[in-house]
Amino acid sequence: MKQLPPDTVRLLSSSQVITSIVNVLKELIENSLDAGASSIDVKLENYGLDRLEVRDNGHGIKAADTPVMAVRHFTSKICSHDDLQHLETYGFRGEALGSICAVAEVSVTTKTVADDISTQYMLNFTGEIVSQKPSHLGQGTTVSVLKLFKNLPVRRQYYSSTKKCKEELKKAQDLLMAYAIIKPDLRLTLVHNKVVVWQKAKVADHRSALLATLGPSAVANLLPCHHHQEQPEIFLEGFFPKPGADYSSTSSSNPDKTFIFVNNRPVHHKDIMKLLRQHYIAQYPDDPARNRYPTLVLKISVSPSSLDVNLTPDKTQVLLHEKEAVLTAVEALLVSLYGYRTGSDPPADKQLGHEISPLPSSPLQTDVSRLVIEQSVEMDDSVTNHSGKEAPKHSDTALSTAISSESKCMERLEDSVVSAADKSKDQLLAEDWSRGTALTDPLSREPLQPVKIHQPSKHNHSGSDEFKNPSSTNKKMFNAITEKRAALTAYDLISNRAMRAPLSPAALFEKETRAEVLREKPTASLQDISGAVHERWKNLREEDRKKYEEKAKKHLEHHDQRTKLASAEGPRELNVSTSRSHLRSQKRKAPQSNQQLLDELFSAQPQKKMKSPAPKPSQPLPCSVPALRLQLQRLSSQSSAAPRGLHLVNRLASQSAWVILCGQRLMLLNPFRVEEALLFKRLLENNILPAESLQNPIQLTDGSLGGAEYTDALCNMEKQSPELNGQIVFSDPRLVANGFKIKLTPGLTSAERHLEVTAMADCVPFLGLEDLREILTAVLHRKARTVQECRPLKVTNYLQGEAVRLVRQLPTNLSREDVEETLLRMEQQLGENNHTCIHGCPFLQHLSEIPSTDQESPY
């Protein structure tokens, strides 16, 4: 990361000011994308005012670059203004993070592949690091923005209403949707107040990204298109509404679903938006469609040298050097898709100063501009043959004279049309082509229709046996399984439907009475309901019982009638091929080739008995258990002693603990206690408490420190070089790491020197002069030289709490590799004697001894 030269800063400097929550989110997301992130998580609290966090899995920030990562005009993306000619990143000024630090509290947690652990950096309002501490996060960068606009009460007052906050949340979601569409392989998540508002998984292509973003109903009416222009080189691709589709499903009342990208950068371009709206609205003569915005995606790719993104601070507007060529290419794409409409003015008239007449049909425009439109509409062969050839020509040259000669692209279109007009006889309009009336039958003058395949009617099969019988044509066919359950085949199960057996009088009574009993006793069990229904049936009057018997008799007669009709269809195994083909048109059957296999699988009586498999050849081998035991004992006596060190055996899933082997002892390991002790040791050695400036510095005297010897010990500690005013700041890590900033004003004598505490850590409760005296006591009496030996008791307790808090954030189920790494670090850093956590609990619990002989084994 390097600082930009002053002349480059003058050219690029935008005086960037963070004006909204979306500004912060956009800058942080673009930094993540420039770092190669494939997963970005956005978390908001109170709409981002209290907390805004963006976490990615990118490359991370190198340790050498962290001191200047938030300082203005330091960037790793460009080195000079000339690099903008081939810019491939979203950011380039080096101002975003520094601007955010000016209006909020910012912390950055980062880790690269080369780093062992991640580190969290606290930044001040100028972007400088004020403190750092280790973190548990993985590779990537996490930027946390707290108390946004805390020093700008007027701007924070702007978000006092819930309506403004919800609008900002909607803008944040629209921003994420834009990046989700242009980056299909990017995973995005938006969480507000611990609730997932929107998320998108990694997908394969842009269409899948649109499905995940806009939904299948919106994408179903979109048509993929692309266009290539060589001079100047312009690539256009995207998804546009299908011509003639319902405007209510392909447009909206606001432009939040009209996505325009220039070199993969989401932008707002008024001229392109106007062009898109005019061509889309021209399809609909109704007034309600006039104020709507089409749902579409347009991706424009031009040379970086012909694009200026340094136009506005938020980089949402760009300057196209070949603006007229881009607008002409976009218009050619839209005209070939929608055609010119008589009721609308050509959108490029005001941009290019032309009056353009309606161009020829879509196939000719496609041939001129090399436009490829992938349509999902199937046309008949005759229409396809016509569209594949050169369009019919017209001899009239009035079309070419109507096209202005001021635009080069229009001149090329004019030449193509003129050359085609010399040979033409009929003129095809784009409007007729889109309506399907361009190609007509030369005899009837009717529009050509798609080819229809007609199925033969029943009277054409008069030769079949089934249709020779006149009564069979009027017979109503039933799909029913008749009473042949013993010979029920898979064919019957697949191709027919079962008929219910007729109900008895008692069953009909139970069907009607069960609901009444349940209404009377909602909490009754099934046994109570069945008993109550049975009692009512026994106590039923004779007249009512006869009514149910008559109903059952009618059910039986209806069932017998249906069964006779189904049986009259004949046996299932028909031998006449014509009858089988007719039944296949009536019913849905299994393939004929699979019927034999299905019958074998589902038949109740197997057709043939399966042969028993032949016995496998075997050969007896001599084996003696005592000889095997003797051989194992001999091998164990020859082997070396029990392995030293700790070896993992397996994990206990219920307790998240691991069984390990230590020599000949089985022990239970708690890896979280080990991590707690390792993290606490690292915090004792390396953690630096951030010191906050005191409004009233504390004077240090011999009495407050405990005597002159303590004052002398303090003055003998390491110091910085004197400042211009003569004051000297102590830089000894034993003082700085414990949160004390002390200044010395030297004098001619010891009585004239002046000591004062100007800053002190506020994260440790009740930290004061007694803790400073505790540090000096360790230095004076215990000859402490390291930071770990000089930690006061309050600081030690605070670091213990931090270690416990960080360990609780670890995943519950650690992998085998993680536990092996933990054991290795335990042996290297804690030694063999220190095997207890910070609460005094042991890492290992003894389970049992492994027996060395059979006599010692309890089994």
Q: How many domains does the chain have?
A: 3
> Which of 72-81, 318-327, 650-659 tops mean pLDDT?
318-327
For residue 232, say if its preceding peptide bond is cis, omega within 30 degrees of 0: yes
pLDDT at 342: 45
- Same structural domain, 190 and 311: no
The pTM of this model reads 0.43
Q: Which residues pair with 132 in a beta bridge?
A: 121
- Same structural domain, 77 and 177: yes
More confident residue, 414 or 257: 257
Helix axes 323-338 and 408-421, enclosed angle (nearest 10): 40
Stretch 760-784: mean pLDDT, rounded?
A: 90
Model confidence pLDDT, tens digit, residues 47-96: 999 999 999 999 999 888 888 888 876 776 655 555 556 666 776 667 78
User: In which domain, by residue range, is 712 found?
Assistant: 654-853
More confident residue, 476 or 514: 514
User: Is 613 within the bounds of a domain?
Assistant: no
- Same structural domain, 26 and 147: yes
Residues in contact with 718: Cβ distance below 8 Å, sequence separation at least 6, in sequence order: 730, 731, 732, 733
Cβ proximity of 273 and 254 under 8 Å: no
Cα gap 312→467, rounded to integer Å: 81
User: Is 537 within the bounds of a domain?
Assistant: no
Query: What is the pLDDT confidence band of residue 41, given thresholds at 50, 70 and 90?
Result: very high
- Same structural domain, 157 and 12: yes
CA distances from 586 to 479, 598, 722 (A): 10, 21, 103
**Beta pairing class for 296-301 and 258-262:** parallel
- Same structural domain, 122 and 225: no
CA distances from 188 to 44, 177, 223, 260, 738 (A): 14, 9, 25, 20, 40
Cα gap 606→8, rounded to integer Å: 89
> Which of 490-494, 538-542, 595-599 tops mean pLDDT?
538-542
Cα gap 237→223, rounded to integer Å: 11
Burial class (CB in 10 A: 0-12, 13-18, 19+), 160: exposed
More confident residue, 70 or 192: 192
Poorest-pLDDT segment among 628-637, 646-655, 788-797: 628-637
- Same structural domain, 291 and 161: no
pLDDT at 456: 56
pLDDT at 650: 81
Task: Check pLDDT > 50 for residue 406.
Answer: no
Helix axes 505-520 and 542-567, enclosed angle (nearest 10): 120
pLDDT at 722: 86
Model confidence pLDDT, tens digit, residues 563-614: 777 666 544 443 444 444 444 444 454 445 566 666 666 664 444 455 566 6
Cα gap 613→619, rounded to integer Å: 19
Cβ proximity of 760 and 691 under 8 Å: yes
Query: What is the pLDDT confidence band of residue 555, given thresholds at 50, 70 and 90?
Result: confident
Cα gap 678→694, rounded to integer Å: 34
CA distances from 315 to 16, 96, 103, 416 (A): 10, 11, 20, 39
Stretch 216-240: mean pLDDT, rounded?
A: 89
Query: What is the pLDDT confidence band of residue 430, given thresholds at 50, 70 and 90?
Result: low
Give residue 457's identity as a one-letter amino acid code: S
User: Is 51 within the bounds of a domain?
Assistant: yes
pLDDT at 412: 42
Task: Check pLDDT > 80 for residue 491.
Answer: no
Stretch 700-708: mean pLDDT, rounded?
A: 87
User: Is 137 within the bounds of a domain?
Assistant: yes
- End-of-domain residue from the set 338, 371, 389: 338
pLDDT at 126: 85
Cβ proximity of 157 and 63 under 8 Å: no
Residues in contact with 497: Cβ distance below 8 Å, sequence separation at least 6, in sequence order: 479, 480, 481
Cα gap 70→92, rounded to integer Å: 13
pLDDT at 192: 93
pLDDT at 111: 93
Give residue 340's identity as a one-letter amino acid code: Y
Our measurement of the distance from residue 836's CA atom to the centroid of its chain's CA atoms, rounded to an integer in Å, reads 42
Q: Which residues pair with 122 in a beta bridge?
A: 107, 131
Task: Check pLDDT > 60 for residue 517.
Answer: yes
- Same structural domain, 797 and 663: yes
Q: DSSP characters for 151-199?
A: T-HHHHHHT-SHHHHHHHHHHHHHHHHHHHHH-TT-EEEEEETTEEEEE
- Same structural domain, 809 and 696: yes
Task: Check pLDDT > 60 for residue 30.
Answer: yes
Query: What is the pLDDT confidence band of residue 210, given thresholds at 50, 70 and 90?
Result: very high
Task: Check pLDDT > 90 for residue 531.
Answer: no
Helix axes 526-538 and 505-520, enclosed angle (nearest 10): 120
Q: Mean pLDDT score of the chain, rounded to an integer?
A: 75
User: Is 251 within the bounds of a domain?
Assistant: yes
- Closest alpha carbon to 791 in 642, 644, 718, 688: 688
- Same structural domain, 48 and 76: yes
More confident residue, 392 or 611: 611
User: Is 105 within the bounds of a domain?
Assistant: yes
Task: Check pLDDT > 50 for residue 787.
Answer: yes
**What's the 3-state SS for 606-619?**
CCCCCCCCCCCCCC
User: Is 601 within the bounds of a domain?
Assistant: no
More confident residue, 607 or 203: 203
Query: What is the pLDDT confidence band of residue 390, given thresholds at 50, 70 and 90?
Result: very low
Cα gap 662→610, rounded to integer Å: 57
pLDDT at 753: 82
Cα gap 699→691, rounded to integer Å: 17
pLDDT at 360: 37
User: Which structure tokens are listed for 167?
Assistant: 């609008």
pLDDT at 295: 92
pLDDT at 349: 39
More confident residue, 563 or 793: 793
pLDDT at 1: 58
- Same structural domain, 755 and 658: yes
pLDDT at 125: 85
Cα gap 120→110, rounded to integer Å: 7
Give residue 483's identity as a one-letter amino acid code: E
Kind plus residue range of the DSSP H or E element containing 111: strand 105-111
Stretch 744-756: mean pLDDT, rounded?
A: 79
Poorest-pLDDT segment among 1-15, 27-41, 809-823: 1-15
Residue 109 belongs to domain with CATH number: 3.30.565.10
Task: Check pLDDT > 60 for residue 849.
Answer: yes
- Same structural domain, 15 and 159: yes
Stretch 207-229: mean pLDDT, rounded?
A: 90
User: Is 670 within the bounds of a domain?
Assistant: yes
Q: DSSP characters for 488-526?
A: --HHHHHH--B-PPPPPHHHHHHHHHHHHHHHH-TT--H
Cβ proximity of 39 and 57 under 8 Å: yes
- Same structural domain, 186 and 271: no
User: Which structure tokens are listed for 707?
Assistant: 């005597």
Task: Check pLDDT > 60 for residue 288.
Answer: yes
pLDDT at 585: 46
- End-of-domain residue from the set 297, 320, 338: 338
pLDDT at 79: 59
CA-based torsion, 520, 525, 530, 535: positive or negative: negative
- End-of-domain residue from the set 322, 338, 354: 338
Residues in contact with 73: Cβ distance below 8 Å, sequence separation at least 6, in sequence order: 3, 4, 9, 13, 93, 94, 95
Stretch 477-496: mean pLDDT, rounded?
A: 47
- Closest alpha carbon to 368 in 406, 329, 340: 329
